[in-house]
C-alpha cells in the first residue's frame, strides 16, 4: 500500500499494521483535511456460483440477487452487515423461534437453575403437540440434555413444550420470559406467542433479529453451542438427523432451520473459517432443496468476497497530535481497542485510510480521552470512523506559560 504522505506503508492489512508500529506515526492535518492511503481500484472477488432467479439484496459491493424473500448476512467478529434484504421486516420465523427458546434454556443452565442431567416430566400438552417431534413418551421424564438435542437437532415441538413447562411451569410463562429478554439482547422486531414457532397471530421475528440471537448464542453460551452442530440424535430407539443440511455437509457448525406456510423455508447457519465467522439467515424460500442451495451459495459468496483486516492493535500509537497550551508539545493518539474491519476482498487496492482530528488539541487532555478518529473509506461502502484516544494526560500551562506561548516562547 502506497501512502501519499511523508511516508509509506507496506502492502496488506498485516503489513500496514506492522509498518505503522515500526515507523514514525501518521502525520495528520486539521479537520476536515485527511491524509489518505490510495491505490489502484480493483474488481471485487466473486463467488463461483450461478446467480438465482430472484430479486436483489443490498450489499457493500452492490445489488446481489437471492431467491430468499428475507435475507441477512452478518460478520460475527466485527458486526459488519454483508447482505440485507428486507432484514428488518416482520416475518413468520417458524422453527427459527427455537433459537430464542434455546437462549432462555441455556441461560438457566449457565446460572445453575437447570441441570443437563435433570429429568423433566412430559405433559399431555407436550405429547399432543403437532408438527415436528422428538416423540416424547406421555407420562415419562426426559433428561434436559436429550430435550435440547430433540429441540435443536430434530426441531421437536414436543421437546420445546417439556422444556418450557419444566423451566417456567407453563408455556405461557416461558414465552413471557422470551419477550422480556428479547429487547435486552437487541431484538427490535420480534414478539413471541409460543416456544415452537407454530403459526400464531402476533408471533414474528426479523431476519436481523434471528442473526442477533445466533450471535448471542455463540458468544454468551459457547459451552452449549455444540448442540446446534450435532449431525444426528438417537432417542427412544429412533435415529433422527439434523435438518440443517449445511451442518450435515460440514459447511456450518450450527444453527437451525424452519418451515411454515407463512414463512416458507428458512435457515440460520454459521461457519468459522480461518478465524472469520459468518452468520447467514434466509427465509421465504420455496422448498427444502432451495433453502439448502441458497444457504450454501450465500455462505460461499460471503467468504469469497469479504475478509477481516486488523489495522491497529490496542494501545498502538497511530499519530502524535500537536497540543495548544499544554505541558507537552504533542500527545500520542492511540487505538483504544484492536481495530479490525470487515472489508471487501482486495481492499488494499481500493481503500483510503486516514486520521482525522482537530489540530492543535486544546489542553488539558486526560489519558483515554477521545481526540480524533481513524477514517476508512472503500468504494461502495459508507465511511467507517473509529475513535482515537489520548495515550497520556497533558496538563494545561499556568498563566505565565500561557502568556509565553501566546508570544511564541512557550513549550507548546
Q: Which residues are annotated as a binding site?
A: 256
Catalytic residue among 155, 190, 270, 351: 155
Task: Indicate the SS3 state at residue 132.
Answer: coil
Q: Is 206 a catalytic residue?
A: no
Please work out, in degrees rounded to the nearest 5, the angle formed at the alpha carbon of residue 359 by the alpha carbons of 354 and 361: 115
What b/e string do you get for 83-93 counting C-beta neighbours within 10 Å, with b at 16 or more? bbbbbeebbbb
Annotated binding site for substrate: 256
- Closest residue by Cα to residue 153 from 223, 100, 226, 261: 226
Q: Is 98 a catalytic residue?
A: yes
Catalytic residue among 94, 95, 132, 270: 95
Q: Are 371 and 390 in contact (CB under 8 A)?
A: yes
Task: Quote the crossing angle between the two packed helices 207-220 and 97-110, to the nearest 10°.
Answer: 20
- List of residues 6+ apart from 35 with CB closer than 8 A: 3, 4, 5, 26, 27, 28, 29, 354, 355
- Closest residue by Cα to residue 382 from 358, 357, 356, 351: 351
Catalytic residue among 98, 132, 133, 351: 98
Q: Are 372 and 314 in contact (CB under 8 A)?
A: no
Alpha carbons 221 and 243: distance in angstroms, whole number:
22
Q: Is 95 a catalytic residue?
A: yes
Instruction: Tell me which long-range contacts 228-232 makes (C-beta under 8 A, separation of at least 24).
Output: 228/102, 228/152, 228/253, 228/254, 228/255, 228/256, 229/253, 229/254, 230/149, 230/153, 231/153, 232/153
Alpha carbons 359 and 375: distance in angstroms, whole number:
16
Residue 248: how many CB atoms within 10 A of its CB? 14
Q: Are 59 and 298 in contact (CB under 8 A)?
A: no
Q: Which residues are catalytic?
A: 95, 98, 155
Amino acid at each position: 500500500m502506497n501512502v501519499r504522505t511523508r511516508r509509506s506503508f507496506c502492502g496488506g492489512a498485516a503489513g500496514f499494521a506492522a509498518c505503522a508500529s515500526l515507523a514514525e506515526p501518521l502525520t495528520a492535518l486539521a479537520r476536515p483535511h485527511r491524509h489518505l492511503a490510495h491505490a489502484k481500484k480493483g474488481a471485487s472477488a466473486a463467488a463461483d456460483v450461478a446467480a438465482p432467479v430472484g430479486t436483489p439484496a443490498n450489499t457493500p459491493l452492490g445489488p446481489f440477487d437471492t431467491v430468499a424473500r428475507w435475507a441477512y448476512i452478518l460478520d460475527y467478529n466485527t458486526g459488519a452487515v454483508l447482505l440485507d434484504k428486507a432484514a428488518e421486516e416482520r416475518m413468520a420465523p417458524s422453527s427459527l423461534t427455537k433459537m430464542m427458546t434455546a437462549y432462555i434454556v441455556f441461560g438457566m443452565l449457565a446460572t445453575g437453575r437447570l441441570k443437563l442431567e435433570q429429568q423433566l416430566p412430559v405433559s399431555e400438552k407436550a405429547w399432543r403437540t403437532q408438527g415436528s417431534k422428538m416423540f416424547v413418551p406421555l407420562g415419562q421424564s426426559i433428561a434436559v440434555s436429550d430435550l435440547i438435542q430433540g429441540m435443536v437437532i430434530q426441531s421437536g415441538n414436543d421437546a420445546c413444550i417439556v422444556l418450557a413447562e419444566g423451566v417456567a411451569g407453563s408455556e405461557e410463562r416461558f414465552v413471557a420470559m422470551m419477550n422480556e429478554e428479547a429487547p435486552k439482547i437487541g431484538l427490535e422486531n420480534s414478539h413471541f406467542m409460543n416456544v415452537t414457532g407454530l403459526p400464531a397471530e402476533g408471533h414474528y421475528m426479523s431476519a436481523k433479529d434471528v442473526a442477533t440471537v445466533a450471535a448471542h448464542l455463540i458468544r454468551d453460551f459457547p459451552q452449549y453451542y455444540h448442540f446446534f452442530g450435532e449431525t444426528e440424535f438417537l432417542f427412544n430407539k429412533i435415529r433422527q438427523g439434523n435438518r440443517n443440511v449445511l451442518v450435515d455437509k460440514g459447511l456450518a457448525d450450527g444453527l437451525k432451520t424452519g418451515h411454515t406456510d407463512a414463512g416458507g423455508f428458512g435457515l440460520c447457519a454459521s461457519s468459522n473459517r480461518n478465524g472469520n465467522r459468518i452468520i447467514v439467515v434466509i427465509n421465504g424460500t420455496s422448498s427444502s432443496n432451495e433453502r439448502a442451495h441458497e444457504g450454501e451459495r450465500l455462505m460461499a459468496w460471503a467468504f469469497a468476497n469479504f475478509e477481516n483486516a486488523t489495522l491497529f492493535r490496542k494501545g498502538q500509537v497511530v499519530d502524535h497530535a500537536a497540543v495548544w497550551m499544554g505541558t507537552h508539545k504533542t500527545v500520542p493518539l492511540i487505538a483504544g481497542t484492536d481495530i479490525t474491519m470487515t472489508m471487501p476482498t482486495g481492499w488494499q487496492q481500493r481503500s483510503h485510510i486516514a486520521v482525522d482530528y482537530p489540530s492543535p488539541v486544546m489542553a488539558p487532555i486526560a489519558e483515554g480521552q477521545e481526540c480524533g478518529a481513524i477514517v476508512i473509506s472503500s468504494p461502495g461502502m459508507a465511511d467507517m470512523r473509529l475513535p482515537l484516544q489520548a495515550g497520556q494526560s497533558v496538563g494545561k500551562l499556568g498563566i505565565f506559560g500561557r502568556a509565553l506561548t501566546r508570544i511564541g516562547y512557550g513549550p507548546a
